[in-house]
Amino acid sequence: MIRIFALVAALFIAAPALAQAQALPAGLDKANAIVIDTTKGRIVIKLRPDIAPQHAERIKLLAREGYYNNVPFHRVMEGFMAQTGDGKNFNGTGGSKYPNVPAEFSSAPFTRGVVGMARAGDPNSANSQFFIMFAEGSSLNDKYTVVGDVVSGMDVVDRLKKAPPGSAGGAVTDPDKMVKVQVASDVK
């Protein structure tokens, strides 16, 4: 009986902390944000339809279709960025069933916490993959589409498993994953 009481008391005490951990940032436009629950915790990204409307819509579409669920952070380079979004091949070589999205370059700089769309050599080849910056990356400015900003969970991004120094292309063995990705307005 004492054990049951202790368990109930512990759950009662922990409930506010669990609810707070799951709360979304105040003032967030939930229609233009995604919530990424990873193997390391939660990341909330404010999308930027003001500068990249087609890319923001693509990410929301794929999130709603479940395309990003259980997708690894296949390329994570210390001091640079963490890339994910290949829900086809899970290794950075695939894209969605939809056509590529034309570049939407802007003057927004690539700084810590900025989310950009990954692409191949063609500037108009972004599809489903995106990356989160660990640090400033001015070499990407005006060459890649900025699609959002991390507004909560940058500490989670920092904890993602990194590729070993010198690994080819920043490939990660046994990577962390995006367990579930949702548009914030759909989070229950």
Please report whether residue 19 resides in a domain. Answer: no
On the question of pLDDT at 28 being above 60, the answer is yes
Please report whether residue 16 resides in a domain. Answer: no
pLDDT, one tens digit per residue, over 150-168 is 999 999 999 999 999 888 7
On the question of pLDDT at 1 being above 70, the answer is no
Please report whether residue 3 resides in a domain. Answer: no
Residue-range definition of the domain harbouring residue 81: 29-186
How are beta strands 81-84 and 41-47 bridged, if at all?
A: unpaired
Cβ atoms within 10 Å of 110's Cβ, excluding its own: 22
Please report whether residue 61 resides in a domain. Answer: yes
Please report whether residue 92 resides in a domain. Answer: yes
Nearest 5°: the CA angle 16, 21, 26 is 100
Please report whether residue 13 resides in a domain. Answer: no
On the question of pLDDT at 9 being above 60, the answer is no
Count how many domains the chain has: 1
Helix/strand/coil for 127: coil
Residue 79, domain CATH: 2.40.100.10
19-23, 85-89, 171-175: lowest mean pLDDT where?
19-23
Which pTM does this prediction carry?
0.88
